[in-house]
Amino acid sequence: MSEDEARVSTRKRVTVPKTYKLYVGGSFARSESGRVVAVADADGTFRANAAKASRKDLRDAVAAARKAFGGWSGASAHNRGQVLFRVAEMLEGTRDRFTSEVAATEGLSATEAERAVDTAVDRMFWYAGWTDKLGVLRGGVGQVSGPYTVHSTPEPVGVVGVVAPRRSSLLGLVSVLAPVLAAGNSAVVLVDTELAVPAVSMCEAMATSDVPGGVVNVLTGDPAELISRLASHSDVDALDPGGADESLRGELEETAAGSVKRVLDAPLVEPDWSTAPGTGRLRAFTELKTVWHPLGE
Amino acid sequence: MVTAERHRRLPRMADSPSSSPPSTGPPGELTEATRDEAALTRFLRGLPGIDAVGLEQRATALAGRAVKGEAKLRAIDRAVSMVDLTTLEGADNASKVRALAAKARTPDSRFPDVPRVAALCVYPDLVAEAVTALRGSGVGVASVATAFPSGRSTPRAKLAEVELAVESGADEVDMVIDRGAFLAGEYGRVFDEIEQVRAACGPAHLKVILETGELGGYDNVWRASWLALLAGADFVKTSTGKVSPAATLPVTHVLLRAVREWRERTGQTRGVKPAGGIRTTKDAIRYLVAVREVAGSDWLSPDLFRFGASGLLNDLLMQRETQLHGHYSGPDQVTVDL
């Protein structure tokens, strides 16, 4: 018996490479088109197959995001904060896995990757804390000279389309996604297949941490193929074109204007994601609602 | 109330279409089946069984057929023209019926070339309102009746409801069968009830709702379809929409096969209406493929095939816009049906 066991354990093992799927409506599904792309590590070795999303997947993702928006935006700020804290906990719990994935994907050293993952976890925590403070930051009671008061509250804009950063796989993604969620929006994120591995792993953390299905939808694929569809989609309320090529920006804004989308004025060159983000992105994806309240005698 | 124009638009199914063999009435064995309850039971029980595995496999295979581009656009328009725009809620009132009637006349005000829907389907007490709101539009008015959705009432009450609907001007009556009696094997009672309603309908068309979700199996759906056809149904309809599962593709296959065989045996053409659970354009196109493949292209007409749905129309309109203008539309672009 022990002889058999020894023989098995010394045999060269055939690994089981994973197929990374799309994250739409809270479940992991292959692309409707059936397309997959091989994903290589930064050093060129085959790592896995990732789904290549089609336009129909994009439409399904937007529909899922719209469906989930009511529940997520209607949840209390405290509850949303708790859920995002939980996401951070899940990321922290699988830190080693993320470190190796980020290192392989971006070609970083172990120390650099570790730093990127830690910053990403910290950032998720940081934005989780903002959910119930955003109202104080942006809203308030305006000063008017008349027999009424003016109350302003920030409200989420709705479904936000995000083109994920290209230079930072996990930290970049968390930095653009967390503020969208913290403000109460639902998101459809386009991720380049080259960066699919950490992105889909993050989705797995989301799926196991009480984020309602459909609040986050991640489509891996060729962003260039889907991005104009995302910009023209009438049911997407805002767009973060941050990861889109500089040459596309003008055209995207023009397309987005067709459905009066709010477009984030993202820097043309990707920022250093490790620096403190500020609250700009939280503000960008909220809409201020102002109510006049008459004062009676 | 029933105008000549309506008569022209909706000919008696038995007279159409011209391509079918001349109508000679049911052949001997079908007349024999309706002689008495024992004969009816013998006939229905003697019908060959349905191969459930084969049926579901065929339904799945046909559902995979791709309809794209220009064909898709035409399928969408065809599907719109087949919709029975339905509102069957406790909260229905005259203003909601008027709003839906406006939508039935002009499904998408931005695109006047969208065809109007086939009919508006309401409860009997709102028929008069619907008739007024749709006068001259060519859109029919359908009314559910016979203690919809359960069908649990006395024959007197059921017939009174049918009479109310017809007197108020309904062009089509959607009745439910007594599933309790059917499942207990009292086929004669179900048959008589359909026949009486048929008589009470007068010139109005009769759709018989089988509520397939409660019949427990394809064999019973097959028997119930034949029972309804024998008793004079113009349409067989799958469901009320109040019971889950409602319409499914395999069940609709069974109904389509029944009307096809009915025409082969009698020369008379009857229609099919799946209802409930059809919400997306993709679903609707799958049904159209099934109609074409199981019954035949003659049935690809609002006279012989209908969708009982409320949410479907909005999805069809959104898809239509996508096909025409190349960008995805959203629910903000179509009317909100309260």
Taking one residue from A and the other from B, the number of pairs with CB-CB distance under 8 angstroms is: 28
Mean pLDDT (whole number) for A201-230: 95
Q: What is the CATH number of domain B24-333?
A: 3.20.20.70
The minimum CA-CA distance between B179 and chain A, rounded to whole Å, is 36
Assigned domain for A16 exists: no
Q: A19-20 and A46-51 as β-strands: parallel, antiparallel, unpaired?
A: parallel
Tell me the pLDDT band of B338, cut-offs 50, 70 and 90: low
Judging contacts by C-beta atoms under 8 Å, the chain B residues touching residue A233 are: 327-328, 330
Task: Note the pLDDT tens digit of each residue in B215-261.
Answer: 999 999 999 999 999 999 999 999 999 998 999 999 999 999 999 99
Q: How many domains does chain A have?
A: 1
Q: From the candidates B84, B103, B237, B315, give the one annotated as an active-site residue.
A: B237
B273 is catalytic: yes
Judging contacts by C-beta atoms under 8 Å, the chain B residues touching residue A236 are: 330
Q: Is B117 helix (H, G, I), strand (E, B) or coil?
A: coil
Task: Note the pLDDT tens digit of each residue in A245-291.
Answer: 999 999 999 999 999 999 999 999 999 999 999 999 999 999 999 99
Task: Note the pLDDT tens digit of each residue in B115-134.
Answer: 999 999 999 999 999 999 99
Judging contacts by C-beta atoms under 8 Å, the chain B residues touching residue A33 are: none
Assigned domain for A17 exists: no
Question: How many whole angstroms separate alpha carbon B177 and alpha carbon B166?
Answer: 18
**Cβ contact A232–B333 (<8 Å):** no
Domain boundaries, chain B: 24-333
Q: What letters, b where the CB count within 10 A reaches 16 and e where it falls short, cover A47-70?
A: bbbbbbbbbebbbbbbbbbbbbbe
* Residue A232 touches partner B, C-beta closer than 8 Å: yes
Q: Chain A residue with minimal CA distance to B333?
A: A234
Instruction: Using alpha carbons, list the distances in angstroms from residue A161 to A35, A111, A121, B27.
Output: 22, 32, 22, 63
Task: Note the pLDDT tens digit of each residue in B11-42.
Answer: 344 444 444 444 456 777 888 888 899 999 99
**Cβ contact A233–B327 (<8 Å):** yes
Question: How many whole angstroms separate alpha carbon A231 and alpha carbon B333?
Answer: 16
This prediction's pTM? 0.83
Q: From the candidates B103, B158, B207, B273, give the one annotated as an active-site residue.
A: B273
Q: Chain B residue with minimal CA distance to A256?
A: B327
B36 is catalytic: no
Q: Identify the domain containing residue A124 by its residue range.
A: 24-294
Whole-number percent of chain B with pLDDT over 90: 81
**Cβ contact B332–A232 (<8 Å):** no
Assigned domain for A217 exists: yes
**Cβ contact B328–A66 (<8 Å):** no
Q: Chain B residue with minimal CA distance to A227?
A: B327
B84 is catalytic: no
Task: Note the pLDDT tens digit of each residue in B133-146.
Answer: 999 999 999 999 99
Task: Note the pLDDT tens digit of each residue in A25-51.
Answer: 999 999 999 999 999 998 889 999 999
Judging contacts by C-beta atoms under 8 Å, the chain A residues touching residue B328 are: 58-59, 62, 229, 232-235
Question: How many whole angstroms separate alpha carbon A133 and alpha carbon A182?
Answer: 10
The minimum CA-CA distance between B327 and chain A, rounded to whole Å, is 6
ipTM for the predicted complex: 0.73
The minimum CA-CA distance between B280 and chain A, rounded to whole Å, is 12
Q: Nearest-CA neighbor of B293 among B16, B60, B15, B72?
A: B60
CATH code for the domain in which residue A160 is found? 3.40.605.10
Instruction: Using alpha carbons, list the distances in angstroms from residue A44 to A35, A38, A39, A65, A170.
Output: 21, 11, 9, 35, 19
The minimum CA-CA distance between B94 and chain A, rounded to whole Å, is 30
Closest Cβ opposite residue B332 in set A62, A232, A234: A234
Sign of CA dihedral A177, A178, A180, A181: positive
Task: Note the pLDDT tens digit of each residue in B138-189.
Answer: 999 999 999 999 999 999 999 999 999 999 999 999 999 999 999 999 999 9
Place of tokens 């949303």: A80
Judging contacts by C-beta atoms under 8 Å, the chain B residues touching residue A235 are: 328-332
Q: Which of A235, A239, A251, A261 to mutate to test the interface with B (most CBs of B within 10 A)?
A: A235
